[in-house]
């Protein structure tokens, strides 16, 4: 297969396993490109991309921008805080105004689940979802799986536990879809208040005990506690959370195997994971960041090749 | 569709030896020279030439790499089929080196133009030469000519040159295939 089955990247659940395979194979080539002395290719020189971020972001926005520039696309970026959205403009109007300036592709982050899907139905441009509320964050899940594949050879058959704030996490949902699609087994682990009800219906099991979860898994993906999305207290204190669900070197060393530690960032050092774990050989956190650029280049390249 | 043999296995073998000797005449011990096979089809020829130079002509150290030009092509989004990338394997810098591009068929010259841009990602070579097995005369879109050629062929647009290698297709043979519809290939 040499073409994606979709025209937009709205979520992992809209993809086929072959799409993920194609994205990974393309990202392999781009990873080689971004390690060259000159890290740029001219493929997308006639494509213009708008990055529209209605929510704060540092690494995703930088990663997308870098990926676009490495592909030689023209890039315009804007944050909602500096825009006419504050003056009451609707989402469709905002985007259509940008598209009137001959933009081919939109990368959007929005606080509302389904915002990217809504946009794809109402505007004429290729849409990439860079995170929509607590719904999906497809490029993060793709780069996570790509990093697992890089470290362990393949994703299929591996056991992955996602630890922490599953309730507010779009990374968790996209990861569950992506990992299952590739044949991995997924568990979630965290305080009961931060595990969504009926998550078993997605085919994942819940393991409330961190040690048991770590003993079971090949990979632990440690999520950040999203304080900014919490309107009530979901656990008594950060200290208690860290004691129950934080990974430190002692617990890793006490396991009878070496597991891979992942984190989508930003890390709260000393909460989800301690500094010595984050900086250890078992951690692939910085590989994830590097792979993020390659994966986003692959997604943008493959979607752009479908723009006629 | 009909096909005729342009070069037999024996003829390919003779040509490969001649091309290897021509390279030695110009580059002697290859101490400042790098051979780059253009992916995908040029890699077979490049590997053969390198093997010949090493085994038959006793040139021990040859720097050799494979260059993929997919992301540098000028027909992105213009064709019916999406472009598929291949692996680039160049783990050295080409700064101030003599580079020899090797490809199987020279047709429009657009692949070579892309390769000339792509190689710049690895430094600034002192000079670049081109070696091809088949030079399709009169079909160039760009002012590009080979420095070393195996055989010059006059083929029109609905004819396609297919180079087969033992490693891949089980035989070393070059065919001229005539199709009924005009499908420019090997660009």
Measured from the Cβ of residue A135, the count of other Cβ atoms closer than 10 Å reads 20
Which residue among A2, A32, A39 sits closest to B82, beta carbon to beta carbon? A2
Among B90, B30, B80, residue whose Cα is nearest residue B57: B30
Nearest chain A residue to B86 by CA: give it.
A29
Predicted confidence (pLDDT) at residue B181 exceeds the cutoff of 70: no
Q: How far apart are CA B109 and CA B140, in angstroms?
A: 6
pLDDT of amino acid B118: 95
Q: Taking an 8 Å Cβ-Cβ cutoff, which residues of chain A contact chain B?
A: 2-3, 25-26, 28-29, 32-33, 36-44, 46, 71, 301-302, 304-308
Chain B residues with CB-CB distance to A3 below 8 A: 82
- Give Cβ neighbours of residue A167 (< 8 Å, ≥ 6 apart): A134, A193, A194, A195, A196, A234
- Give Cβ neighbours of residue A231 (< 8 Å, ≥ 6 apart): none
Query: Which domains does chain B possess?
Result: 10-155 (3.40.50.2020)
pLDDT of amino acid B158: 82
Fold of A138-284: Rossmann fold (3.40.50)
pLDDT of amino acid A80: 74
Measured from the Cβ of residue B127, the count of other Cβ atoms closer than 10 Å reads 11
Which residue among A26, A38, A46 sits closest to B85, beta carbon to beta carbon? A26
Predicted confidence (pLDDT) at residue B184 exceeds the cutoff of 70: no
Per-residue pLDDT of chain A (308 residues; tens, 9 = 90+): 689 999 999 999 999 999 999 999 999 999 999 999 999 999 999 999 999 999 888 889 999 999 999 999 999 998 876 666 667 788 888 888 888 888 999 999 999 999 999 999 988 899 999 999 999 999 999 999 999 999 999 999 999 999 999 998 999 999 999 999 999 999 999 999 999 999 999 999 999 999 999 999 999 999 988 777 666 678 888 888 899 999 999 999 999 899 999 999 889 899 999 999 999 999 999 999 999 999 999 999 999 999 87
For residues A94-119, b (16+ Cβ closer than 10 Å) or e, as one string?
Answer: bbeebbeeebbbbbbbbeebebbbbb
Predicted confidence (pLDDT) at residue B185 exceeds the cutoff of 70: no
Q: How far apart are CA A97 and CA A87, in angstroms?
A: 14
Nearest chain B residue to A28 by CA: give it.
B87
Domain boundaries, chain A: 12-136+289-304, 138-284
**Cβ–Cβ under 8 Å, residues A222 and A272:** yes
Among B39, B5, B42, residue whose Cα is nearest residue B148: B42
- Give Cβ neighbours of residue A78 (< 8 Å, ≥ 6 apart): A50, A51, A52, A53
pLDDT of amino acid B78: 80
Using pLDDT thresholds of 50, 70 and 90, give the confidence band for residue B182.
low
Q: B28-78 pLDDT, tens per residue?
A: 989 999 999 999 999 999 999 999 999 999 998 999 999 999 999 988 888
pLDDT of amino acid A59: 87
Among A69, A74, A72, residue whose Cα is nearest residue A49: A74
A12-136+289-304 to CATH, choices 3.40.50.1370, 1.10.600.10, 3.40.50.280, 1.10.10.10: 3.40.50.1370
Q: How far apart are CA A125 and CA A307, in angstroms?
A: 8
Q: In this complex, do B82 and A301 lie within 8 Å of one another by their Cβ atoms?
A: no
**Cβ–Cβ under 8 Å, residues A257 and A233:** no
Mean pLDDT estimate for chain B: 91
Predicted confidence (pLDDT) at residue B186 exceeds the cutoff of 80: no
Give the mean model confidence (pLDDT) for residues B112-119. 96
My answer on whether omega of the bond before A266 falls inside 30° of 0, hence cis, is yes
Q: How far apart are CA A137 and CA A132, in angstroms?
A: 7
Q: How far apart are CA A200 and CA A45, in angstroms?
A: 45
Q: In this complex, do A305 and B84 lie within 8 Å of one another by their Cβ atoms?
A: no
Q: How far is CA A265 from the centre of its chain?
A: 10
Q: In this complex, do B121 and A44 lie within 8 Å of one another by their Cβ atoms?
A: no
């Amino acid at each position: 297969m040499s073409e994606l089955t979709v025209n937009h990247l709205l979520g992992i659940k809209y993809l086929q396993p072959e799409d993920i395979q194609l994205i990974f194979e393309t990202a392999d080539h781009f990873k080689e490109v971004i390690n060259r002395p000159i890290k740029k290719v001219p493929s997308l020189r006639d494509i213009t991309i708008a990055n529209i971020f209605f929510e704060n972001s540092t690494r995703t926005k930088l990663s997308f921008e870098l990926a676009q520039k490495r592909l030689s696309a023209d890039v315009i970026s804007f944050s909602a805080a500096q825009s006419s959205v504050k003056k009451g403009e609707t989402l469709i109007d905002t985007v259509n105004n940008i598209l009137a300036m001959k933009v081919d592709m939109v990368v959007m982050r929005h606080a509302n689940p389904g915002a990217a899907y809504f946009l794809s139905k109402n505007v004429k441009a290729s849409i990439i979802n860079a995170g929509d509320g607590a719904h999906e964050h497809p490029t993060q899940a793709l780069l996570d799986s790509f990093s697992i594949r890089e470290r362990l050879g393949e994703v299929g058959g591996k056991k992955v536990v996602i630890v922490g704030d599953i309730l507010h996490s779009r990374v968790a949902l996209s990861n569950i879809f992506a990992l299952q699609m590739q044949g991995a087994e997924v568990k979630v682990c965290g305080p009961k208040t931060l595990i969504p009800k009926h998550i078993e219906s997605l085919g994942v099991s819940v393991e409330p005990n961190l040690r048991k979860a770590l003993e079971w898994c090949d990979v632990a993906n440690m999520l950040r506690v999203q304080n900014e999305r919490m309107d009530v207290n979901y656990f008594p204190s950060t200290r208690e959370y860290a004691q129950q669900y934080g990974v430190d070197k002692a617990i890793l060393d006490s396991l009878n195997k070496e597991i891979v530690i992942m984190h989508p960032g930003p890390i709260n050092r000393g909460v989800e994971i301690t500094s010595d774990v984050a900086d250890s050989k078992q951690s692939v956190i910085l590989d994830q960041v590097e792979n993020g650029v390659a994966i986003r280049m692959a997604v943008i390249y493959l979607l752009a090749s479908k723009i006629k | 569709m009909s096909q005729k043999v342009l070069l037999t296995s024996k003829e390919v073998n003779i040509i490969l030896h001649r091309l290897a000797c021509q390279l030695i005449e110009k580059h002697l011990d290859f101490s400042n020279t790098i051979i780059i096979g253009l992916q995908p089809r040029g890699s077979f020829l490049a590997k053969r030439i390198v093997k010949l130079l090493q085994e038959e002509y006793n040139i021990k150290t040859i720097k050799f790499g494979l260059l993929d030009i997919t992301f540098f092509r000028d027909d992105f989004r213009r064709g019916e089929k999406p472009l598929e990338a291949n692996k680039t394997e160049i783990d050295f810098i080409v700064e101030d080196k003599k580079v020899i591009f090797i490809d199987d068929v020279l047709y429009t010259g657009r692949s070579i133009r892309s390769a000339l841009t792509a190689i710049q990602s690895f430094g600034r070579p002192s000079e670049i030469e081109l070696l091809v097995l088949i030079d399709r005369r009169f079909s160039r879109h760009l002012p590009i000519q080979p420095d070393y050629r195996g055989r010059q062929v006059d083929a029109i647009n609905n004819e396609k040159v297919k180079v087969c290698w033992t490693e891949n297709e089980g035989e070393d043979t070059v065919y001229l295939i005539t199709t009924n519809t005009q499908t420019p290939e090997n660009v």
